[in-house]
Structure 1
């Protein structure tokens, strides 16, 4: 109850009516004053007060009504038969009853079913319990009993909530959630912990040290994005794809407010992998699922924010580059109006003279060049060159992040104003060419079974592939009988995993010898080699 009261509020809330005055008829002194204060307090709060709950202005106002000195309130007995009799009178007057064990069980069940799915604050739960008691005309339990009811309700809700969440998870999702807390081996070249580890989040370092220098994806999931750069965007995309791969159902936490799910997420953020392992399986899986679901939404928002910041970064960088280039190209000319007057005067005085003799002595050639360069460096030129820089930065570096971003995040808008932008995004997404993961299907090579680079004879089990570069040239990629693998063009030693070039210009025809300077070795043309068109031999390659 509030401690400060205005006189109007005191008159409205603490004035005794005729029926209430009748209950005070046989009471006097401190008993009369204490009974009147408890009677009106119960009417306002639906519970009995403690001595410190009664505000001083209310005590003085009630003392004036019952014609008792306010100082006598300190002598009112708050324990014993007298106050118990007073409470029984007040309950009967307001048609309330004392709570029972059955009432407490019903209150705990009601809180777990109706209030806990939408609220986590103890104060709000306590307020809801008191309101429910007033509605059912039940005197609220004592403070210690209220805390026990609240604890029982929270435990009941957690048990029902975790059981329902686990039942909605598939076996595959359960397995992937359990893998989140499994420590993975640290990548080669990356310090796992100790003195050489980078300084960062203390919780992450402590968890890495506890896991023997290994790192679980759970720790990476909790971390914030790194510096503003393309690699950070790509790393966040990979993180989002791994979270999506868990396969959480959309209705996993249906019937529970976002506030409660966010509370479970905050609880999971503070836990180490060892804490998850020590928790009961339903609680562990629910915590991990809540963390993944909330972090998935946060990662999507973070990717959009990173994209906006990267675009702004590229734009600012392009503007600075163009400004530096423009400043390097010209120097600002002071007093252009005076120079213009001099030029006009010289032209009028010497209309028949050539420009070099008439104008250059008045205004130097360099000054005229600076004026022209400054005039060209206008706003339109600036925007054009900035746009060129933007396109260059995007094409050479940032472009590789867009296909992955479009694959991980879907952009949608119901506003017709942004429909052209959405159409452009759909077009970019539809025309994204995937990176080839395999070579074209092999074809038979036209050359003989003898390898010109290693001198080995190709066995029946080895393969040779051929790609057509044009109607006059081709490239052979050999796999010889000996374990030499592919030979990169221009190298003498076999190079495993070499990628063949697309075209091979023909060499001049000679008597059985390859004459090109780029030939890996002087190779003799086998008699079985076919002749080439246009009177040329094809160049040997590995």
Structure 2
């Protein structure tokens, strides 16, 4: 059951109806309250609670008020008594339910194994499906243990059948090739790979490896991997109607096993696992190839520009007094029209000065562009051009837009002429120009031959075609067959949208009618602009003016808030009661209270170790990963576990999904155990921002950060106001923060319901405002360039309205564009909500490279309208500006603690494997949330004392944070005693 309940929801679901009230009869006291609570719980969940703790206090209080009894009476209600079982029978009869039988359980097991599991094999999801099926059948579900057994039994039956069916679809040739790959242990050692050399053999380890740094060698390696996997010739229908979540689960299992384990599996299991691995790897490698191609095309131009700039800087000498020099030269030439230059001009302006003048002119004219393009051509012809035939042979490019079909045609012509050593294309060949060659590049591509006839330079045409291809791949106007992130963009959208249109609109809480949608936004714009216009004369912190013939917004900083006076005393008390608490003990204590290690399920078929041993090793392994000290250093501690044991746990138990489940359980425990009088009411607000971490650079994730300097990756955090991080993700330095922001809001999987999100300038855009509104979130950025923001008008013909806002008002919103594309915008928002593709893959469609896309234009118009509404509130309300700033300060505080915890190896992520990088980030996230959880309990224990609570002022509570670590020791020996506990009172947990 959900944790946070609004009053409207309580009224809707837990209001006692007259016919229900009549059931109470002469019941009184705790019996009266217990019965009606059970009744409403069963009505909502179609099952009875497993314990009293499952029912939220706010629900019990709301029900108690209706029947006029004290809510505390529910604590005395005995859920093991005969009365309780009589109440259950009475409630079942009232709703027309019956108790479940063994036959019911067997029938649901069979139904589940045949119809549902192909979508998701997650146990929690299967349990939810089981409960829904019992509800539809009007059967009371059995106990939680029995439901778990039904889920496991159904999964076992499904997998047994699935493995056999998959095995039967494979040809003998495919099986033979897979066998050779898991036997072949030879790996290539040379960096120079000849893709056409059939004697080059790749090992299974090679096929599992990520690509190295950007370069031709990486391109050729990935091509060899792709060719090797394609030789297996997996059937096209092998995984029809099977969710990628299920296939990824089997791929992860292959990645966690060594070859000896793989070879020991029964044939149906072995070849199903291998097929799932190769099927997904084929798509991943295709994506990697496209990423490498995009980066290399970009690098050709960037390196040429850098080299030319360096040469020009060395040669460049700015000549002062050019006007005076020109006058002297002109005067000397007029006075001596028949003179010799050397005799007339050089005495006035020496030869070196004239040389500098010529260089300055060349460096500031078109010569720069020509020089850059010349170097690009040389670099491409002598080195990078080798990749072209291999790329065009292995990748099949497609487009759904006729406008971009000329690029596909151009690639076919390049492939046709690659081995023909001519300077120009044949006159008889129709070469696509429009849509391929940018206007500024036509002079470089179209030349005149010796006969004065216009011809197309073949090498230059290849370069500009690849540059155009890069731009269109990035916005997915051109896609690749067999890719995942760069697949057909139509596949990113929900395939059942047309059939389930009303359901999808309802899920987003948006009206089916575009006019109703537009009308609500237009009304909000009028209200916001009117309120801001009326308040401007009395707004001392905001000034609107004209500067450089443009509107200019000036926002004065808010006055500093009063300093909290007692927080240092509170921190000192924490230090006194729990001095130098080991960070490892904090992780252990969190698990002993929450049991988050139960979320770590093995990737193998069975868990042969006892759970206590697994728990202990998991804590040590997670500590080594979360602090970045590594498993080897942690294994040297005084705990009786060796490196091989920890490495086994890392391979079999620790993966992204398990870590995210564990993090969710910790976040939910923090939210549940907070004392409202100390931390305030449950919030629906979080803030998000990123932080750069150093990382090894022999991979596609690590990039040079222009702002922070140095190579590394970015971690994007979503942190709520009391310093609990609900979601984290690894991203490149140049990737969109907008997509990271939206992904965190949609996929955090915690009990927290997020309605507002604070971001800085990098986390917002017009498209971000549009999608946030469609998805039901309020995006609230702190805008760095507030001075140049504009407000859009809601209608035409109101140029004189809002007189106090005239300096910053601009054109009206194009509602017609929104009206035309409304259904398409909802479709993309639904794709984001359902996760039919990665968030970043969907948002690639809506970038500056795709300005003419009609849905992108409509999203921009919608974003302008929503941003105008926000700006009106932002400029009119100083309290909102303070709230946003406070929220982002919480993220900054979270970032400051990263280096305290992630101290190993200088805080650098020392791996080139993407999966290991993500595991490091999530382990840090988990460890830091454990610190917040234990600190929350410690602070609550201190403030449970009357003298400490009464000492705290409102400013102390405002600034109170559980993310403190002066009392924590992250270093020293790695000792772990599972029987030793941190002394925190039980009632605070």
User: Normalising by the residue count of structure 2, what TM-score does the alignment of the two structures yield?
Assistant: 0.40
Note if 1:394 corresponds to 2:380. yes
Greater CA drift, 8-17 or 291-300: 8-17
| Structure 2 equivalent of residue 316 of structure 1 | 302
* Shift, 1:345, TM fit: 3.9
| Structure 2 equivalent of residue 290 of structure 1 | 276
Is the strand fraction higher in 1 or 2?
2
Q: Distance in 2 between matches of 1:411 and 1:11?
A: 55
Unaligned runs of 5+ in 2: 192-200, 422-989
Paired residues for 1:175-194 under 5 Å: 175-185=176-186
Q: 1:187 to 1:315 in 2, by over 3 A?
A: closer
Note if 1:261 corresponds to 2:217. no
SS at match of 1:181: helix
* Shift, 1:354, TM fit: 4.4
* Shift, 1:18, TM fit: 2.4
| Structure 2 equivalent of residue 47 of structure 1 | 47
| Structure 2 equivalent of residue 38 of structure 1 | 38
SS at match of 1:87: helix
Note if 1:410 corresponds to 2:410. no
- Which one of 364, 370, 374 corresponds to residue 356 of structure 2? 370
Note if 1:361 corresponds to 2:347. yes
| Structure 1 equivalent of residue 145 of structure 2 | 144
Contact 1:33/1:73 (8 A) holds in 2? yes
Paired residues for 1:145-224 under 5 Å: 145-185=146-186, 217-224=203-210
Q: Distance in 2 between matches of 1:285 and 1:151?
A: 22
Q: 1:338 to 1:109 in 2, by over 3 A?
A: farther
Q: Deviations over 1:451-494 (max 9, x none)?
A: xxxxxxxxxxxxxxxxxxxxxxxxxxxxxxxxxxxxxxxxxxxx
| Structure 1 equivalent of residue 123 of structure 2 | 122
Q: 1:423 to 1:216 in 2, by over 3 A?
A: closer
Greater CA drift, 260-269 or 83-92: 260-269
Unaligned runs of 5+ in 1: 191-214, 436-542
| Structure 1 equivalent of residue 446 of structure 2 | none
| Structure 2 equivalent of residue 474 of structure 1 | none
Contact 1:330/1:374 (8 A) holds in 2? yes
Q: Distance in 2 between matches of 1:177 and 1:186?
A: 16
Greater CA drift, 13-22 or 134-143: 13-22
* Shift, 1:397, TM fit: 2.1
Note if 1:240 corresponds to 2:232. no
| Structure 1 equivalent of residue 132 of structure 2 | 131
* Shift, 1:235, TM fit: 1.4
Contact 1:182/1:216 (8 A) holds in 2? no
Paired residues for 1:336-485 under 5 Å: 336-348=322-334, 354-433=340-419
Q: Distance in 1 between matches of 2:137 and 2:243?
A: 26
Q: Distance in 1 between matches of 2:390 and 2:343?
A: 65
| Structure 2 equivalent of residue 96 of structure 1 | 97
Contact 2:186/2:203 (8 A) holds in 1? no
Contact 2:332/2:344 (8 A) holds in 1? yes
| Structure 2 equivalent of residue 455 of structure 1 | none
Q: Deviations over 1:151-201 (max 9, x none)?
A: 1111112112111111111011011112221133456899xxxxxxxxxxx
Paired residues for 1:482-501 under 5 Å: none
* Shift, 1:426, TM fit: 0.8
Contact 2:119/2:242 (8 A) holds in 1? yes
- Which one of 287, 291, 294 corresponds to residue 301 of structure 1? 287
Q: 1:58 to 1:372 in 2, by over 3 A?
A: closer
* Shift, 1:377, TM fit: 3.5
* Shift, 1:9, TM fit: 3.3
Greater CA drift, 87-96 or 391-400: 391-400
Contact 2:202/2:225 (8 A) holds in 1? no
Contact 1:108/1:152 (8 A) holds in 2? yes
Q: Deviations over 1:63-87 (max 9, x none)?
A: 2333333332222111132111110
Contact 2:362/2:368 (8 A) holds in 1? no
Q: Deviations over 1:283-337 (max 9, x none)?
A: 1111111111111111112112111211222222222333344445553323322
| Structure 1 equivalent of residue 61 of structure 2 | 60
Contact 2:24/2:32 (8 A) holds in 1? yes
* Shift, 1:379, TM fit: 4.2
| Structure 2 equivalent of residue 15 of structure 1 | 15
Q: Distance in 2 between matches of 1:235 and 1:9?
A: 57
Greater CA drift, 355-364 or 96-105: 355-364
Contact 1:181/1:216 (8 A) holds in 2? no
Contact 1:109/1:153 (8 A) holds in 2? yes
* Shift, 1:4, TM fit: 3.8
Q: Distance in 2 between matches of 1:434 and 1:373?
A: 39
SS at match of 2:97: coil
Contact 2:188/2:202 (8 A) holds in 1? no
| Structure 2 equivalent of residue 105 of structure 1 | 106
Q: Distance in 2 between matches of 1:170 and 1:63?
A: 66
Q: 1:337 to 1:113 in 2, by over 3 A?
A: farther
Q: 1:127 to 1:377 in 2, by over 3 A?
A: same
| Structure 1 equivalent of residue 513 of structure 2 | none
| Structure 1 equivalent of residue 79 of structure 2 | 78
Contact 2:187/2:206 (8 A) holds in 1? no
Q: 1:27 to 1:144 in 2, by over 3 A?
A: same
| Structure 2 equivalent of residue 272 of structure 1 | 258
Q: Distance in 1 between matches of 2:55 and 2:314?
A: 79
Q: 1:329 to 1:23 in 2, by over 3 A?
A: closer
Q: Distance in 1 between matches of 2:233 and 2:189?
A: 30
Contact 1:10/1:58 (8 A) holds in 2? yes
Q: 1:26 to 1:292 in 2, by over 3 A?
A: same
- Greater RCO (CA < 8 Å, at least 6 residues apart): 2
Cα RMSD for the two superposed structures: 2.4
Q: Distance in 2 between matches of 1:363 and 1:7?
A: 87
Q: Distance in 2 between matches of 1:376 and 1:61?
A: 80
| Structure 2 equivalent of residue 465 of structure 1 | none
Q: 1:293 to 1:365 in 2, by over 3 A?
A: same
* Shift, 1:142, TM fit: 0.6
| Structure 1 equivalent of residue 740 of structure 2 | none
SS at match of 1:412: strand
SS at match of 1:44: helix
Contact 1:3/1:56 (8 A) holds in 2? no
Q: How many matched pairs? A: 411
Contact 1:262/1:290 (8 A) holds in 2? yes
Q: 1:86 to 1:297 in 2, by over 3 A?
A: same
Q: 1:14 to 1:188 in 2, by over 3 A?
A: closer
Q: Distance in 2 between matches of 1:138 and 1:379?
A: 82
| Structure 2 equivalent of residue 446 of structure 1 | none
| Structure 2 equivalent of residue 528 of structure 1 | none
Q: Deviations over 1:505-536 (max 9, x none)?
A: xxxxxxxxxxxxxxxxxxxxxxxxxxxxxxxx
Q: Deviations over 1:201-253 (max 9, x none)?
A: xxxxxxxxxxxxxx972211111111222122111111110010011111111
Structure index of larger Rg: 1
